[in-house]
Amino acid sequence: MSASPPYLEVAVAAPLPQTLTYALPSSGEIPAPGQRVLVPLGGRLLTGYVLAVTQEKPAFRLKPIADLLDDFPVFPEGMVPFFRWVARYYHYPIGEVIRGALPGGLTSQSGRQIMATEAGLHYFLVEQPQLVHDHPWLASVTAKKKLSAATVRKLWRGKERRIIEQWGEQGLISVEQIISGATIGQKTETCVFLASEPLAPETLANLKPSEKKTLALLEEMLLPAPQALPRRELTKAYSGAAKALASLAGKGVLRLEERPVYRDPFGETPLFYPRPPQLTADQENGLAQLNPAIAKKKYAPFLLHGVTGSGKTEVYLRAAEATLALGRSVLVLVPEIALATQLEAHFLSRFGETVALLHSGLARGERFDQWQRVVSGKARIVIGARSAIFAPLGDPGLIIVDEEHDGAYKQEDSLRYQGRDLALVRGSQTGATVLLGSATPSLASYQHALSGKYTLLSLPTRIENRPLPQVELVDLQAVNTVSGRPPLFSPQLKQALRATLARQEQSLVFLNRRGFAGCMLCSDCGQAVQCPHCRITLTLHKGRGELVCHYCGYATNSRTVCTNCRSINLAPIGFGTERIEEELAGMFPKARIARLDHDTTRNRQDFLRILRAVHDREVDILVGTQMITKGHHFPHVTLVGIVWADAGLGMPDYKAGERTFQLLAQVTGRAGRGEQPGRVIVQTHQPTHYSIAAARDHDYPRFFEKETGLRKALGYPPFSRLINLVLDGEQEEAVQNRAEALAAKGKALRRYRKTGILGPAPAPLARLRGRFRWQILLKGTDLEELHSLCLELEQEHARLAGKVNLSVDVDPENML
């Protein structure tokens, strides 16, 4: 058999559902899987990712690869099946999957660069200066400044293209094809290390005063963490240090090296956590099951159910040690916001240089550096937020997902993946042990643990047997007010806030409400009006005067009766953290109040700034959404108030009960970790609701039983699978028509009998950023069928042209 020249299977960074085949570049070089290449596609050049080298020749004429972009792969070949799986399962173009997985700034595409010729300069500046006025971009060109690639693209796509081409032909400007977009720089910091050898006495005796001072300072600063210290820390403390450090390095007293530096969010040197010599019996027991699984190098999923403060971290660390000892690598996923917690410091303390960090707070260059360290094998432990599931580790033998129940693992735009679910997929592909950890496991994970699909490990007690905090429930229905409507703050909570302020301690005030959707709340039983078919809270559409189900489209007049107790005393309700902040400011004019939610924290910096203010006791009362439950423990917070614990139960979401339980359990678990036990006051309209009562009693099994029963009865996950199809566009009618057309098409396809089509219905945020949104929910137990139906509807959508956009959300968690 003669060897034909190989062909390359390439995923192109464009929204194509399939991969494309290219011939070898003219150089004859054969790029390896994982390398980036520049490929021609429909008259332009863009980045592609080589997935495979194949001998299979397709039936059509191939174009050759235009260029190689890398000397080495940017991801290991072993990740190719993973990318394929993700693209297929989440109905997302594979090239976009890979582009999104890689650190930013690695995507090249062809563009154009516009420059003025000598003749042009004269023409535009002297002969026809009004042209510069008419075409403002000419100002940059005549000033010999480069136009950005984005600017040129916009001009080229718009009305200016003709004139640009015309002037190009006249020789007034030059239009050159360039490759742009890939912009990556290295960023490191100079760090100081003490020499490992003890110093000779004569060296020490001959030091200059400034050198002695610097050395003393260094030793002092290194004391809490005997690792590296950034040079600028020293030069900040003592301006003579820069010079002294250089000469000390020359004398061999210390080393200066370029290193990435990891910083604590509060700007302190990371704490060093020593390896504890003793484990608890529960930790030992867990590791006795984990270690053999790790050693087998086969896929083995575990659920580590441990209450807050029970020592999950040490189990992670020991499992990581065992995995590294086998020569395999470790991937640790944490919720983005929790990256500021001690977990990262624990891993750094234990494993030092072999840890890489991947999170959204890194600058582009930093992110690229971390990526390089991983792909080159220098870093064998990766800690990161959900996107770190795409970290280019060659042979992950252990994948840890901390706080696995956390909603932050679900990406809610572009590629809508679930990081925790992908951890299991990647683990099963690479033969890894997957360790999911949580104090309040997701229903699905716990279900799998009980069914034996995962192995359940338990850490039922807190270290040192500290008690869980006492939780007081306040029934808002029972609070008497002049107006007869429940108040925002009960006398109990007001009183507690006042007392806490008087003691100069801090309070946290939660409102689990980031949604905007209003609902109708029954003033007698406290329950929100629900859909008779879906048991989902109906959303109030004020304009139409209707209550609408966002799952099935059911609508009823907003003047209705309570679905629970038939009462006619229904009141529209809807308020958020902003209102709470306002009320508090009115009640306590002298208190320093801060708010932490999506509106006040545009980015990680804002988040850390507010946390820091609380940490430094510059804030008396912190108001916020679930964001405050994560991350930090503040020792001076002695009161936690939950304004409206059942707020989440009013959301149009089948997971409302689960979310509510998790939130309350997380909050109450967090209080009382300091020396004082702390007080938790939970205000609610539904004190007997199972989610709220079980959270008060720290009773996960009770919650699980009840919630599982409800889900099963209604056929919601984990007893079925969902795919949400969201249509959006500028014209409401077009969107609604398309939604109806697709739903009708789906219902007409008789071969998908086992899959239900709910809707179409207006999306819970029916108008978002000026676009109208409708959705169709697919629900079924047959995964195969569900996905083929989805695929057919996508094809139907593509066939029907129009300015309506379709996005697919597989396993939706939050349909807002």
Partner DNA sequence: AGCACGCCGACT
Partner DNA sequence: GTCGGCGTGCTC
Contacting DNA within 63-102 (CB under 7 A): 63
Cβ neighbours, 10 Å, residue 613: 15
**Which residue in 37, 38, 41, 723 binds DNA (CB under 7 A)?**
41
Could you give the CA distance from residue 439 to residue 443 in angstroms, rounded to a whole number?
12
Could you give the CA distance from residue 652 to residue 530 in angstroms, rounded to a whole number?
9
Quick one: 165 or 268, whose CB is closer to DNA? 165
3-state SS assignment for residue 466? coil
Cβ neighbours, 10 Å, residue 748: 8
In whole angstroms, the minimum distance from the beta carbon of 617 to DNA comes to 49
**Which residue in 5, 29, 44, 288 binds DNA (CB under 7 A)?**
44
- Is residue 43 involved in binding DNA (CB under 7 A)? yes
Write down the residue that tokens 């919601």 correspond to: 716
Write down the residue that tokens 């996107």 correspond to: 387
Could you give the CA distance from residue 243 to residue 772 in angstroms, rounded to a whole number?
63
Round to the nearest angstrom and report the end-to-end CA distance of the chain. Answer: 58
**Which residue in 5, 58, 104, 292 binds DNA (CB under 7 A)?**
58
Piece in contact with DNA (CB under 7 A), picked from 35-43, 401-409, 423-431, 533-541: 35-43
3-state SS assignment for residue 232? helix
**Which residue in 4, 60, 136, 701 binds DNA (CB under 7 A)?**
60
In whole angstroms, the minimum distance from the beta carbon of 224 to DNA comes to 50
* Helix and strand counts by DSSP (H, E) for the chain: 25, 32
What are the angstrom distances between the C-alpha of 234 and each of 108, 247, 477? 40, 14, 59
Residues 6+ apart with CB under 8 A from 764: 515, 517, 539, 550, 652, 815, 816
**Which residue in 3, 4, 134, 162 binds DNA (CB under 7 A)?**
162
Contacting DNA within 521-560 (CB under 7 A): none
Residues 6+ apart with CB under 8 A from 527: 521, 562, 563, 564, 565, 649, 685, 686
Task: Tell me the residue ranges of DSSP E strands in 489-582.
Answer: 506-510, 519-522, 539-541, 546-548, 555-557, 570-573
In whole angstroms, the minimum distance from the beta carbon of 426 to DNA comes to 27
- Is residue 413 involved in binding DNA (CB under 7 A)? no
| Max CA pair span of the chain | 92
In whole angstroms, the minimum distance from the beta carbon of 798 to DNA comes to 8
Piece in contact with DNA (CB under 7 A), picked from 57-65, 245-253, 267-275, 544-552: 57-65
Quick one: 69 or 692, whose CB is closer to DNA? 69
In whole angstroms, the minimum distance from the beta carbon of 371 to DNA comes to 24
In whole angstroms, the minimum distance from the beta carbon of 814 to DNA comes to 24
In whole angstroms, the minimum distance from the beta carbon of 552 to DNA comes to 29
In whole angstroms, the minimum distance from the beta carbon of 53 to DNA comes to 14
In whole angstroms, the minimum distance from the beta carbon of 22 to DNA comes to 4
**Which residue in 30, 53, 62, 714 binds DNA (CB under 7 A)?**
62
Quick one: 93 or 270, whose CB is closer to DNA? 93
In whole angstroms, the minimum distance from the beta carbon of 107 to DNA comes to 11
Quick one: 57 or 566, whose CB is closer to DNA? 57
Piece in contact with DNA (CB under 7 A), picked from 60-68, 83-91, 185-193, 437-445: 60-68
Quick one: 48 or 641, whose CB is closer to DNA? 48
Contacting DNA within 781-810 (CB under 7 A): 801-802
Residues 6+ apart with CB under 8 A from 212: none
CA nearest neighbour of 151 among 164, 169, 168, 134: 164
Cβ neighbours, 10 Å, residue 697: 12
**Which residue in 2, 28, 42, 130 binds DNA (CB under 7 A)?**
42
- Is residue 167 involved in binding DNA (CB under 7 A)? no
Contacting DNA within 342-381 (CB under 7 A): none
Residues 6+ apart with CB under 8 A from 147: 113, 114, 137, 140, 141, 155
Per-residue mark of binding to DNA, 11-30 (x: CB under 7 A) = ---xxx-x-xxxx-------
Interface residues with DNA (CB under 7 A) are 14-16, 18, 20-23, 39-44, 58, 60-63, 153, 156-157, 159, 162, 801-802
